[in-house]
């Protein structure tokens, strides 16, 4: 069902007037974790000033250590709902368990299935039974074929509003957090009709590489870029090292526009 052979035209998913997979690439930006109403509001206010429409933020954080911040849970989803309504933003947040999906769909506009759950087949099937857009991230060590089949699980249950996100894969390379597989973008665009995004924050794990990888992602045909921005990254409860502060984020957006690859 995800195959281009089955459907030649690009799938475009329209949420609150924002086109995912439409004519122009978009930015999906926001903090790693939802930490408070004020924290998310600071990002949302800047989004509105910059004409950005899509806000990400994690409420359920699948952390490597059980002792690290695990997210605000439903409280975080409520914050996203309130801010999405107040600022007319499309909200995206990760859900990690099938039991939370229906509730989450009432709070957020796009359900994210994260890298660690790309092959959580019960979660994929349950997301497939929703009538709600899903952003599926590539697994930590998933092949393109496994990634495509994971998306197929969602479509096979009836939900065709699926978008893909390349977020880097595990390799021997230690200079970056993961290795951004740039060729995954044109491959996924050739093999499937789904929108494809590039997460520059989790793939590189390095602020100095966000702009060049974002340019590369758009240049090879992605439908947009995911990037993390936090009002005060130094005190962020997750991914403090690679989130941009708001002035640096605005410079990132300006430079992407100046490159001609992104229209703003």
| Interacting residue with ligand PEP among 31, 58, 76, 195 (CB under 6 A) | 58
CB of 78 to ligand PEP, least distance (A): 18
| Interacting residue with ligand PEP among 21, 30, 71, 114 (CB under 6 A) | 114
User: Which residue lies nearer to ligand PEP by CB, 158 or 177?
Assistant: 177
| Interacting residue with ligand PEP among 53, 132, 202, 207 (CB under 6 A) | 202
Q: Is 137 in the site for ligand PEP (CB under 6 A)?
A: yes
**How many degrees, rounded to 5, is the angle at CA 25 between CA 23 and CA 30?**
140
Judge whether 140 and 115 are in contact, CB under 8 Å: yes
Beta strands 196-199 and 224-228, pairing class: parallel
User: Which residue lies nearer to ligand PEP by CB, 29 or 253?
Assistant: 29
Interface with ligand PEP in residues 158-177 (CB under 6 A): 167
Tokens at 220, concatenated:
């090879």
d(CA 24, CA 54): 14
Q: Which residues bind Mn ion (CB under 5 A)?
A: 32, 239
CB of 193 to ligand PEP, least distance (A): 22
Number of H helices, E strands in the chain: 9, 10
Buried/exposed 244-254: b ≥16 CB within 10 Å, e otherwise: bbbeebeebbe
First to last CA, the chain: 32
| Interacting residue with ligand PEP among 43, 53, 94, 222 (CB under 6 A) | 94
CB of 9 to ligand PEP, least distance (A): 28
Instruction: Find residue 162's DSSP bridge partners.
Output: 134
137 binds, among Mn ion, ligand PEP, none (CB under 5 to 8 A by kind): ligand PEP
Binding-site ranges for ligand PEP (CB under 6 A): 32, 58, 94, 114-116, 137, 167, 199, 202
């Amino acid at each position: 069902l995800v195959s281009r052979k089955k459907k030649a035209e690009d799938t475009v998913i329209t949420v609150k007037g924002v086109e995912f997979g439409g004519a122009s690439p978009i930015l999906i930006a926001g903090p790693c974790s939802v930490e408070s109403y004020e924290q998310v509001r600071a990002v949302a206010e800047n989004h509105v000033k910059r004409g950005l429409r899509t806000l990400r933020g994690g409420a359920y954080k699948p952390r490597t250590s059980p002792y690290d911040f695990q997210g605000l849970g439903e409280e975080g989803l409520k914050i996203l709902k309130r801010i999405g309504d107040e600022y007319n933003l499309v909200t995206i947040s990760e859900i990690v368990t099938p039991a939370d999906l229906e509730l989450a769909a009432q709070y957020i506009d796009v359900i994210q299935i994260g890298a660690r759950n790309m092959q959580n087949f019960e979660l994929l099937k349950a997301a497939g039974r929703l009538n709600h857009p899903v952003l599926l991230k590539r697994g930590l060590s998933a092949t393109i074929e496994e990634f495509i089949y994971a998306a197929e699980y969602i479509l096979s249950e009836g939900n065709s509003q699926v978008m893909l996100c390349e977020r880097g894969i595990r390799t021997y390379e230690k200079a970056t957090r993961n290795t951004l597989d740039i060729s995954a973008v044109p491959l996924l665009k050739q093999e499937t009709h789904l929108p494809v995004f590039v997460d520059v924050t989790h793939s590189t794990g390095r602020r100095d590489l966000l702009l060049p990888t974002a340019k590369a992602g758009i240049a090879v045909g992605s439908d947009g870029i995911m990037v993390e921005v936090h009002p005060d990254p130094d005190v962020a409860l997750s991914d403090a090292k690679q989130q941009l502060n708001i002035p640096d984020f605005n410079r990132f957006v300006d430079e992407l526009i100046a490159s001609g690859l992104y229209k703003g």
